């Protein structure tokens, strides 16, 4: 383990946790410096929710294992049928990983936790190893040129691994777990750390602007297991038919669902409102049961300019989505209008409405056009994760990552089709095109005791009942004064109107396929209870919340399509020595400090893994794990840390529990750092490069256990 010399922050000071000012600028367009976009008075109905749910006598969910039957192997063995597929150039043997354990989240996590640190290296527990799988600039599409730092071109970058990897999904290509597709989001670029000699966005050439656009988007990369280990590496030569890049520069996406073709998404370049060029700020995501990947378009607002010249009637909508309507170039603007005028809202005011969706990409069909599903609503989508409900309908859970914005779920009209046939696959590819969109309203059991201190209420829990409020179903709107297309395109307004609960920045929202319970990472909210901002409530119980919390949501009757649920906070993050923290009642002297939860994942035994972004306790970001059930619930332990200045993204654990992938995003992103004077030299010892890492147990055993 080395502790390389590194820069201290030069110009800025850490803000919003320990997040560096440079990250605030590039990742979110300084979102926290702008007014909170949600200024709705949005009457709070929390106590009414509890009263109403109690009156209905709703039964708290019991065992729900049954709902996932048929899930794990739903598409395993696709190979036989796949070989019958006409005209398909690529025929996977399997599209789900071999089934792992059958645990229900109560597995023992035996690794020795690693301590907090600020090392410029990737740290794993004793008994584990790790390796970089792929990094920014590595070739993806066959024919990609070798990376050339000083002579980057958009054409080269469009064939190379993009910048700032975020979501990681791994989908198998065979039944034996030897070949797979790595699917990765590239959320945003940091031109300070990409281009030697960078001085300002204005000084970039138009070609360099296009390089940045091509470094956004997603990558699909074929990988192979290193024999007998949990390590994976890129398939480096020969035919790689699945390898693919989509980007913000030139890739075409199809709009689906009720808002496709509406007046809100029509532009001069696309008068029918059906096809969009580019995807923006792809943050988290999820693998679907039918073998596709969902990707959330998050802080899309920051890419648009000219909001000051947009039609007056459009300005409230732009403002609610965090787009400036007072300046041509908001602070930190990338000024992409220099390369493509579709980013100028003065000329193309509807273009912003064509971003902020959930993207679905089929990595098994490299010729398929990725889709933006309007039925899942438009907001700053962190990601989406799907479970097949007991009824067979598929349910996608989603968060809108903004201070005081909302939690959502989508329930499909059609049912998931099991089986190995391409008929089933074709059917399942339509599941996210029509359904019902809900927003969450959370009630409280101890509202009178919530004083912003984080003190546990006398009933022993931050908890309550809640309900899913129907916003739209197919083409029918349930929101007064808004059409279905309007609800889906301006979903935040719909949430405002129906009294959704204002949350502390909902990041990943992911159902456990082992228990059906849903876990929400609420990362932080420095504005909670500050000034005229909304006060703490039982689900968001701390004033000026710096460390965030994990919310557990249990759908009534164990039915993921239910319209009522119970919720609680199993983890209130921070230093366990701080009385304003909670770890499901577990002995706090035995848990690791954690701050700013962002992404969640489950291993094959159902344990919960949590990655962080912006650790406000001074350590590098990392990855943590805890059981969700049984006596070890709340025994949170730190499994790894990422290098200096980086955020831990991904994570993804293969179904056989032998390999754990994380994305190291924005290493060395410290104000004042440059390519020539980097704050991190990970991974190659020269300058900082985002990259995907795989971790495995040296003895070949299951990761974590």
Contact residues for ligand FEO, defined by CB under 6 A: 187, 283, 298, 382, 401, 507, 598
Task: Please report whether residue 445 would count as binding Ca ion according to CB under 5 A.
Answer: yes
Nearest distance, CB of residue 298 and ligand FEO, angstroms: 5
Residue closer to ligand FEO by CB (options 382, 537) is 382
Q: Which partner in Ca ion, ligand FEO, none is near 573 (CB below 5 to 8 A by kind)?
A: none
Nearest distance, CB of residue 430 and Ca ion, angstroms: 28
Question: Which one of 207, 448, 459, 684 is in contact with Ca ion (CB under 5 A)?
Answer: 459
Residue closer to ligand FEO by CB (options 28, 352) is 28
Radius of gyration (Cα) for the chain, nearest Å?
23
Residue 423: Cβ-neighbour burial (10 angstroms; 0-12, 13-18, 19+): exposed
Nearest distance, CB of residue 510 and ligand FEO, angstroms: 13
Task: Please report whether residue 447 would count as binding Ca ion according to CB under 5 A.
Answer: no
Nearest distance, CB of residue 483 and Ca ion, angstroms: 31
Nearest distance, CB of residue 522 and Ca ion, angstroms: 12
- Report the site for Ca ion in 559-598 (rule: CB under 5 A): 598
Q: Which partner in Ca ion, ligand FEO, none is near 446 (CB below 5 to 8 A by kind)?
A: Ca ion
Residue closer to ligand FEO by CB (options 382, 559) is 382
CA atoms within 13 A on the CB side of 119: 16
Query: Which positions from 375 to 414 touch Ca ion by CB under 5 A, shown as an x/- string?
Result: ----------------------------------------
Task: Please report whether residue 629 would count as binding Ca ion according to CB under 5 A.
Answer: no
Q: What is the C-alpha separation between 361 and 370, in angstroms, rounded? A: 5
Nearest distance, CB of residue 311 and ligand FEO, angstroms: 30
Please work out the total of residues on this chain that contact Ca ion, with binding judged by CB under 5 A. Answer: 8
Nearest distance, CB of residue 48 and Ca ion, angstroms: 16
Report DSSP state, residue 151: G
The piece of 331-339, 414-422, 457-465, 472-480 that touches Ca ion (CB under 5 A) is 457-465
Task: Give the CA distances from residue 332 to residues 22, 40, 46, 302, 608, in Å, rounded to whole numbers and listed in that order.
Answer: 10, 27, 38, 8, 36
Residue 40: Cβ-neighbour burial (10 angstroms; 0-12, 13-18, 19+): middle
SS3 183: strand
The CB-nearest residue to Ca ion is 446
- Report the site for Ca ion in 233-292 (rule: CB under 5 A): 283
Question: Which one of 446, 564, 568, 674 is in contact with Ca ion (CB under 5 A)?
Answer: 446
What is the distance between the terminal CA atoms of the chain, rounded to a whole angstrom? Answer: 24
Residue closer to ligand FEO by CB (options 120, 382) is 382
Residue closer to ligand FEO by CB (options 299, 543) is 299
Q: What is the C-alpha separation between 105 and 199, in angstroms, rounded? A: 50
Report DSSP state, residue 108: -
Residue 597: Cβ-neighbour burial (10 angstroms; 0-12, 13-18, 19+): buried
Question: Which one of 366, 457, 618, 701 is in contact with Ca ion (CB under 5 A)?
Answer: 457
Q: Which partner in Ca ion, ligand FEO, none is near 187 (CB below 5 to 8 A by kind)?
A: ligand FEO
Q: Which helix (H) or strand (E) holds 466?
A: strand 463-473
Task: Please report whether residue 448 would count as binding Ca ion according to CB under 5 A.
Answer: no
Sign of CA dihedral 568, 296, 692, 23: negative
Residue 272: Cβ-neighbour burial (10 angstroms; 0-12, 13-18, 19+): exposed
Q: Which of 357, 309, 353 is nearest to 329 (CA)?
A: 309
Q: What is the C-alpha separation between 169 and 285, in angstroms, rounded? A: 8
Q: Are 109 and 637 in contact (CB under 8 A)?
A: yes
Nearest distance, CB of residue 219 and ligand FEO, angstroms: 17
Residue closer to ligand FEO by CB (options 403, 633) is 403
SS3 472: strand
- Report the site for Ca ion in 59-98 (rule: CB under 5 A): none
**Residues paired with residue 403 on neighbouring β-strands, in sequence order:** 504
Only one residue has tokens 């190979």, namely 79
Q: Which partner in ligand FEO, Ca ion, none is near 563 (CB below 5 to 8 A by kind)?
A: none
SS3 424: helix
Residue closer to Ca ion by CB (options 3, 459) is 459
Q: Are 598 and 649 in contact (CB under 8 A)?
A: yes
Residue closer to ligand FEO by CB (options 262, 302) is 302
Residue closer to ligand FEO by CB (options 382, 538) is 382
Sequence-ordered list of residues with C-beta below 8 angstroms from that of 358, at least 6 positions apart, any chain: 294, 295, 296, 297, 372, 373, 376, 381, 384, 396, 398, 432
Residue closer to Ca ion by CB (options 435, 511) is 511
Strands 371-373 and 252-256: parallel
Sequence-ordered list of residues with C-beta below 8 angstroms from that of 394, at least 6 positions apart, any chain: 288, 289, 386, 387, 388, 411, 412, 415, 416, 431, 432
Residue closer to Ca ion by CB (options 337, 537) is 537
Q: Which partner in Ca ion, ligand FEO, none is near 461 (CB below 5 to 8 A by kind)?
A: Ca ion
Residue closer to Ca ion by CB (options 324, 665) is 665
Q: Which partner in ligand FEO, Ca ion, none is near 138 (CB below 5 to 8 A by kind)?
A: none
Nearest distance, CB of residue 580 and ligand FEO, angstroms: 23
CA atoms within 13 A on the CB side of 66: 9
Task: Please report whether residue 463 would count as binding Ca ion according to CB under 5 A.
Answer: yes
Residue numbers of the site for Ca ion (CB under 5 A)?
283, 445-446, 457, 459, 461, 463, 598
């Amino acid at each position: 383990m080395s502790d390389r010399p590194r820069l201290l922050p030069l110009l800025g000071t850490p803000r919003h946790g320990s997040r560096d000012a440079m990250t605030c600028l590039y990742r979110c367009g300084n979102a926290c410096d702008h007014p909170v976009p949600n200024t709705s008075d949005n009457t709070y109905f929390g106590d009414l929710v509890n009263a109403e749910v109690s009156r209905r006598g709703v039964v708290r969910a019991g065992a729900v294992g049954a709902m996932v039957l048929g899930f794990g192997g739903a598409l395993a063995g696709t190979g036989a049928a796949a070989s019958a597929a006409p005209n398909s150039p690529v025929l996977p043997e399997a599209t789900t990983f071999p089934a792992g354990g059958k645990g229900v989240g109560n597995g023992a996590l035996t690794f020795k936790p690693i301590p907090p640190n600020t090392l410029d290296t990737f740290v794993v527990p004793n008994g584990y190893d790790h390796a970089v799988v792929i990094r920014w600039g590595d070739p993806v599409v066959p024919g990609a040129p070798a990376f050339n730092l000083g002579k980057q071109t958009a054409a080269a970058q469009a064939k190379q691994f993009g910048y700032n990897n975020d979501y990681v999904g791994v989908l198998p290509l065979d039944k034996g777990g030897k070949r797979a597709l790595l699917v990765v989001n590239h959320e945003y670029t940091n031109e300070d750390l990409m281009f030697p000699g960078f001085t300002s966005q204005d000084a970039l050439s138009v070609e360099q602007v296009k390089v940045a656009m091509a470094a956004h988007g997603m990558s699909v990369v074929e990988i192979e297991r290193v024999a007998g280990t949990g390590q994976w590496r890129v398939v480096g030569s020969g035919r790689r038919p699945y390898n693919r890049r989509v980007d913000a520069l030139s890739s075409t996406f199809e709009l689906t669902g009720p808002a496709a073709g509406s007046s809100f998404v029509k532009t001069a370049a696309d008068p029918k409102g059906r096809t969009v060029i580019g995807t923006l700020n792809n943050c988290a995501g999820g693998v679907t049961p039918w073998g596709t990947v969902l990707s959330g378009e998050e802080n899309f607002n920051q890419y648009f300019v000219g909001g000051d010249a947009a039609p007056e009637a459009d300005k409230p909508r732009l403002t609610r989505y965090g787009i400036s309507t007072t300046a041509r170039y908001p602070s930190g603007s990338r000024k992409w209008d220099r390369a493509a005028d579709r980013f100028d809202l003065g000329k193309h005011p509807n273009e912003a409405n064509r971003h902020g969706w959930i993207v679905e990409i089929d990595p098994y069909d490299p010729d398929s056009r990725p889709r933006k599903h309007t039925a899942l609503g438009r907001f700053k989508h962190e990601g989406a994760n799907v479970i097949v409900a007991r009824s067979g309908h598929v349910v996608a859970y989603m968060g809108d990552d903004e201070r005081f914005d909302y939690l959502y779920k989508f329930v499909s009209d059609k049912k998931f089709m099991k089986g190995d046939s391409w008929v089933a696959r074709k059917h399942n590819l339509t599941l996210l095109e029509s359904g019902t969109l809900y927003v969450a309203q959370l009630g409280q059991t101890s509202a009178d005791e919530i004083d912003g201190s984080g003190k546990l209420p006398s009933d022993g829990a931050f908890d309550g009942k809640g309900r899913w409020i129907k916003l739209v179903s197919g083409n029918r709107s349930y929101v007064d004064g808004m059409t279905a297309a309007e609800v889906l395109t301006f979903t935040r307004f719909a949430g405002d109107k129906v009294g959704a609960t204002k949350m502390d920045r909902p990041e990943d929202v992911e159902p456990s396929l082992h228990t059906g319970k849903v876990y929400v990472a609420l990362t932080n909210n420095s504005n909670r209870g500050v000034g005229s901002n909304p006060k703490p409530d039982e689900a968001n119980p701390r004033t000026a919340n710096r460390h965030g919390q994990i919310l557990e949501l249990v759908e009534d009757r164990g039915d993921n399509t239910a319209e009522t649920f119970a919720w609680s906070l199993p983890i209130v993050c921070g230093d366990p020595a701080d009385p304003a923290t909670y770890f499901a009642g577990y002995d706090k002297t035995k848990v690791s400090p954690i701050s700013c939860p962002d992404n969640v994942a489950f291993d094959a035994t159902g344990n919960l893994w949590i990655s962080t972004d912006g650790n406000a306790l001074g350590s590098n970001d990392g990855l943590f794990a805890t059981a969700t059930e049984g006596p070890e619930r709340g025994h949170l332990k730190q499994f790894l840390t990422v290098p200096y200045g980086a955020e831990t993204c991904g994570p993804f654990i293969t179904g056989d529990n032998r390999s754990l992938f994380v994305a190291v995003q924005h290493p060395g992103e410290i104000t004042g750092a440059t390519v020539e004077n980097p704050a991190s030299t990970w991974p190659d010892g020269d300058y900082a490069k985002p990259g995907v890492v795989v971790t495995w147990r040296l003895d070949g055993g299951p990761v974590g256990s």
